[in-house]
């Protein structure tokens, strides 16, 4: 339940007797990148709505965008993405220029998303997320489904690894260090070093392993 309306959030971690502690809202974007900054209103509204009801919630927004490269549209392209008269992506639908760099519209969106992230206290603006992530996913047949490696650039707070690190850090600060009486219920679980489950984890997952 949000403060203004009900809202379905993609991933929520809730603890009995405490309520929602961590949440991640995801959005996929295929095209019309020139309108991305206009869609920020939706992200701001969702964040405010949820934080009004749950001020302590550690909330992240993760936007995954299709890395449409300037030039011919691949065969597997969804029908929703139109082409020009030569079968190329329309300028508004291009995320990556012919030289391999992110387009200006993607860079502007990155800048806008940075301004939405970094909430570190329950007393700060409810319209800001604790963390924000931005990922470009390859659309060409030879790279289909892979992460576009060159943007966001190294050091960006919107890199997905940094997004999750910020999310976990804020959870620890808010629900463990600032509430020591609840540690037995809020402390994050740790894997045993010799757990057989660790042998089956995806390679990109770094487990939290107990010391000793």
Report if residue 64 sits inside a domain. yes
Give the residue carrying structure tokens 């990109």: 204
What is the residue range of 110's domain?
Answer: 11-200
Instruction: Report if residue 26 sits inside a domain.
Output: yes
| Residue-wise pLDDT tens digits, 84-107 | 999 999 999 999 999 999 999 999
Asked, for residue 93, whether it belongs to a domain, the answer is: yes
The tally of domains found in the chain comes to 1
The distance from CA 98 to its chain's CA centroid, rounded to whole angstroms, is: 26
Is 212 contained in some domain?
Answer: no
141 inside domain = yes
pLDDT bin (cut points 50, 70, 90) of residue 202 is confident
pTM summary value: 0.90
32-80 pLDDT tens trace: 998 888 888 899 999 999 999 999 999 999 999 999 999 999 888 888 8
Would residue 106 count as lying in a domain?
yes
Tell me if 205 is assigned to some domain: no
30 falls within a domain: yes
- Per-residue burial over 6-29, b if 16 or more Cβ lie within 10 Å, else e, is eeeeeebeeeeeeebbbbbbeeeb
pLDDT tens across 118-171, in order?
A: 999 999 999 999 999 999 999 987 888 999 999 999 999 999 999 999 999 999
Relative to beta strand 11-15, strand 131-138 is unpaired
């Amino acid at each position: 339940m949000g403060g203004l309306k009900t809202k379905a959030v993609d991933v929520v971690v809730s603890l009995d007797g405490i309520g929602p502690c961590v949440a991640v809202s995801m959005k996929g974007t295929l095209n019309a990148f020139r309108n991305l900054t206009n869609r920020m209103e939706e992200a701001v509204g969702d964040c405010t709505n949820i934080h009004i009801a749950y001020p302590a919630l550690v909330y992240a927004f993760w936007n995954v965008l299709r890395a449409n490269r300037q030039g011919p549209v691949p065969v597997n392209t969804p029908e929703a993405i139109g082409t020009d008269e030569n079968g190329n992506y329309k300028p508004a639908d291009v995320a990556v220029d012919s030289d391999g760099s992110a387009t200006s519209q993607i860079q502007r969106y990155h800048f806008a998303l940075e301004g939405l992230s970094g909430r570190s206290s329950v007393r700060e603006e409810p319209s800001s997320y604790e963390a924000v992530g931005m990922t470009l996913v390859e659309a060409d047949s030879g790279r289909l489904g892979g992460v576009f490696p060159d943007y966001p650039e190294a050091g960006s707070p919107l890199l997905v690894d940094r997004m999750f690190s910020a999310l976990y850090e804020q959870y620890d600060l808010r629900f463990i260090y600032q509430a020591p009486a609840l540690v037995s219920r809020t402390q994050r679980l740790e894997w045993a070093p010799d757990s057989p489950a660790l042998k089956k984890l995806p390679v990109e997952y770094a487990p939290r392993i107990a010391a000793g």
